[in-house]
Amino acid sequence: MSRSTMIVGTGSFVPDKVLTNLDLEKMVNTSDEWIMTRTGIKERRIVGEETATSDLALKAAERALKAAGVSPSEIDLVLIATVTPDMAFPSTACLVQDRIGAKKAAAFDISAACSGFVYGLSIADQFIRNGTYDTVLLIGAETLSKITDWTDRNTCVLLGDGAGAVVLRPTEESKGILSFYLGADGGAGDFLKVPAGGSRQPPTCETVNKKLHYIKMRGNELFKIAVRVLTRAVEEALSRSCLSIEDISLLIPHQANIRIIQAAAEKAGIPLSKVYINVHKYGNTSSASIAIALDEAVREGRIKEGNIIVLDAFGGGLTWGACVIKW
């Protein structure tokens, strides 16, 4: 039989500090009602000044490994999806590889913003299917609070910190990852970006003073694109597995905004009872979003053996993608 890839363990971690909408009312010109109506977010988790992305990634990874019954010495590859690395280099994946004790593992980061976890799954799947690796640790981790302008009410109400992880291994059973659909549109990259800090605009006093190291977003344009491509990604990924919308047991979308989630589900014809939502608790955690939601869905018993699960993401780049899994 052909070799396919299955998730054998999940884990997640969020910081203890809760930042509520009432807290934000004291920081910017906003209200709990305004935030809830437009985003569906009630609160989000925020790291302390001394906490880095690798710290969250490590804790999520440890929980996923424990759930999988896998030791660090068995890991062949560590992948981390993030747009908030500890530093430009070495990669955050290398930092976690060392701290977790995965001595034989290769390691690298993936930068695909909110789509990073789904992109990472596609990479892990290829390595396992072709026999290069047997055990892959994939983590989505972010400390978006570090690149958030807390005086900009259009962005600061949306974002949070957290990490989620999965352990992947091969199987010869007729289950696991079935298909992917990935897409990108670099021409719309300006809609969601951090302008400075790279080689185009290196850090200077001027870029700092102009707040160019913070997330900049054009929300209205993003909403329209997100609904369209999230729907298309689900349909295309299902088609590649010879499945239909009716076959979905649970859709786990990127938790960006409740209105995007609802609109995309409606456009695709998926009832909200089949959509996992936790955006009200954590806000938008970018590449960690789907990984955290997947772990919570597993622990809450929302996912049963044989279920068809669809992961659906959209983010900066612009990037998007969907993954179909038979659990």
Catalytic residues: 114, 254, 284
Interatomic CA distance for residues 142 and 217, integer angstroms: 17
Q: How many residues does the chain have?
A: 327
Going 39 to 152 to 12 to 65, the CA torsion angle's sign is: positive
Q: Give me the half-sphere count of Cα atoms (radius 13 Å) on the Cβ side of residue 67.
A: 22
Structural tokens at position 36 = 């809830």
54, 3 contact by CB (below 8 A): no
Query: Exposure of 258 by Cβ count < 10 A (0-12 exposed, 13-18 middle, 19+ buried)?
Result: middle
Q: Are 136 and 150 in contact (CB under 8 A)?
A: no
Q: What is d(CA 89, CA 201) in angstroms, rounded to the nearest whole number?
A: 17
The CA distance from 97 to 57, in Å, is: 10
Q: Which of 17, 59, 286, 55 is nearest to 158 (CA)?
A: 286
Distance CA 149, CA 257 (A): 18
